[in-house]
Amino acid sequence: MELIGSTLTATYARPKTSHFLPAISTMASSYRNTQPALAMNPSANLWRTNSYFKSSSTVPTPSSLQRENLDLVRAKTMFYPSNRTALTTRYTPDDWYKSNQNNYRESESSRKSAERLRRDTMRLMQDREQMTRRTQESTSKNIGERLNDIVFWRSELTHETDNMVTEIAALTEVKRRLERALAETEGPLQVSQECLYHREKRMSIDLVHDDVEKDLIKEVEVIKSCQERMRRYLDRAIAQLASNRAAQHELERDMSDKVTAQRIDDRCHHLRNTSDGIGYYRGIERLDPSLSLPDSWSKFTDDNILHSQSERASSHKLRDEIEILLNTTSNEMWNQFNNVNVAFTNRVSETADAKNSLQTHLAKTLQEIFQTEMLIESLKKALRDKECPLKVAQTRLEERTRRPNIELCRDNPHHRLVSEVREIEDTIHKLQERLMEAENTLQNLVKTKVTLEHDLSIKANSLFLDQEKCMSMRKCFPSMPRLVGYT
């Protein structure tokens, strides 16, 4: 029973679709229904289903089994249209008629819609053609106005760029002058320091903190102060040059962008419907790569120009300040240089006068030493001359002590000899004292001579250092044009 039910269902429930007949209408309405043929006649399906359940509920007999086997063999054979029965018919004549009427109505409606669409489309095409032409003319006019704006701002940028280039060249020249002036101060500074180092070689009492040393120290301070101000202004000039070049770079970049934009807009302005190089760019109208608006666009260029003008004003002011600085520093260094030279001249004159006085005193001292030495020689000779008279007197006294007995009389000769001996001894004593005084005086004179000679050597050394060493170096002080950086 299961085999029969499966065969019936497979054979009659889903028949093969026949493509023998063509479609009735152009819309292929007969092919819209994909349901099987049994759906058009549900009674047949219901009958078949009832028969199926009915046969499955009865007890099979040998005759029924034979009939079912025959149906099974028949079911396996090829299906032909002639095998159709009334139960498997798809459509009725009424359906066929209704289908034709529907197709007629749809055809008429489609023609009317197509005619209406054609008229509306022609009117739309004419209106859109005029609107497209007006829009294209308006766009070309806007692009032309935009070109005029670009040309105006480009001329402004060109003018400001030329002014900035001129200002950069002027500031660069002033900066070079400042660098040369700063380099020129190294020589005077080295001379002043070497003068101080040389004057440290002065000896003894000449190693004084005199006006020359004070002026030299002040000169070193003045030169270092000038150098510090020059370096400070040089740093400002370098920073200002960097700012000027940055402003120039912004101007040139803005100008380059405007040149590119002008070239692109000029090409767009001359594009026509018959121009070469036009094409489709799908979705380009939805892309908005804009970075600015007309107000912000013009404000950007205006800000660049205003910034450049501000930097030029600062640069011009800095140039004036550098000019004033160069004149001020050169005057300060020259004035102090002259003050030091005057102090050197006065000190050399004083030292020369002191040396001359020392030489005079030394000559007198030498003369006195000579005379004192002669006096010492005379005293020594006088002392030698007193030796013999003393010996004679002492010998006489000694000889007279040998007189015998009563002859040892203290007579006048004895008194005179004693007096003579004492007198000679007193003379010798006084001469020796004078000799010692003369020798001490000679020693003092010699010491004075040594002191004078040493002081003379000190003065000679000081004169050599101040006049030969220092003043000879100070003859090559930079000129005023070199101090302001022109040469």
Mind listing the pLDDT tens digit for each residue in 74-108?
555 445 555 555 545 578 888 889 999 999 999 99
CA atoms within 13 A on the CB side of 465: 22
Region 425-429: what's the mean pLDDT? Answer: 92
Q: Say how far apart CA 42 and CA 49 lie, in whole Å.
A: 10
Does the predicted TM-score (pTM) go above 0.75?
Answer: no
- The confidence band for 39, taking pLDDT boundaries of 50, 70 and 90, is very low
pLDDT 10s digits, 367-396: 999 999 999 999 999 989 888 988 888 898
Task: Return the minimum-mean-pLDDT range out of 57-61, 352-356, 374-378, 402-406.
Answer: 57-61
For 234, the 3-state DSSP assignment is: helix
DSSP letter assigned to residue 170: H
Share above pLDDT 70 across residues of the chain, in percent, rounded to a whole number: 80
Q: Say how far apart CA 368 and CA 363 lie, in whole Å.
A: 9
- The confidence band for 61, taking pLDDT boundaries of 50, 70 and 90, is low
- The confidence band for 116, taking pLDDT boundaries of 50, 70 and 90, is very high
Task: Return the minimum-mean-pLDDT range out of 20-34, 132-146, 359-373.
Answer: 20-34
Quote the pLDDT of residue 64.
54
Higher-pLDDT residue of 394 and 481 is 394
Contacts 24+ apart (CB under 8 A), 424-428: 424/386, 424/389, 424/390, 424/393, 425/390, 427/386, 428/383, 428/386, 428/390
- The confidence band for 408, taking pLDDT boundaries of 50, 70 and 90, is confident
pLDDT 10s digits, 306-345: 999 999 999 999 999 999 999 999 888 888 888 988 998 8
- The confidence band for 126, taking pLDDT boundaries of 50, 70 and 90, is very high
Tokens representing residue 162 in the block: 């030329």
- The confidence band for 442, taking pLDDT boundaries of 50, 70 and 90, is very high
Contacts of 409 (CB under 8 A, 6+ apart): 403
Q: Say how far apart CA 73 and CA 55 lie, in whole Å.
A: 18
- The confidence band for 447, taking pLDDT boundaries of 50, 70 and 90, is very high
Task: Return the minimum-mean-pLDDT range out of 123-137, 168-182, 198-212.
Answer: 198-212
- The confidence band for 485, taking pLDDT boundaries of 50, 70 and 90, is low
Quote the pLDDT of residue 486.
64
pLDDT 10s digits, 245-290: 999 999 999 999 999 999 998 998 898 888 888 888 888 878 877 7
pLDDT 10s digits, 191-224: 888 888 888 888 888 888 888 889 999 999 999 9
378 phi, psi to nearest 5 deg: -65, -40
Q: Say how far apart CA 393 and CA 427 lie, in whole Å.
A: 14
Quote the pLDDT of residue 472.
83
Tokens representing residue 125 in the block: 């095409």
Taking alpha carbons only, the member of 385, 384, 388, 383 closest to residue 431 is: 383
Taking alpha carbons only, the member of 11, 139, 117, 3 closest to residue 60 is: 3
Region 421-442: what's the mean pLDDT? Answer: 92
For 207, the 3-state DSSP assignment is: coil
- Please, are residues 38 and 44 in contact by the beta-carbon 8 Å criterion? yes
Q: Assess whether pLDDT exceeds 90 at residue 158.
A: yes
Look up tokens 């308006």; give the residue: 138
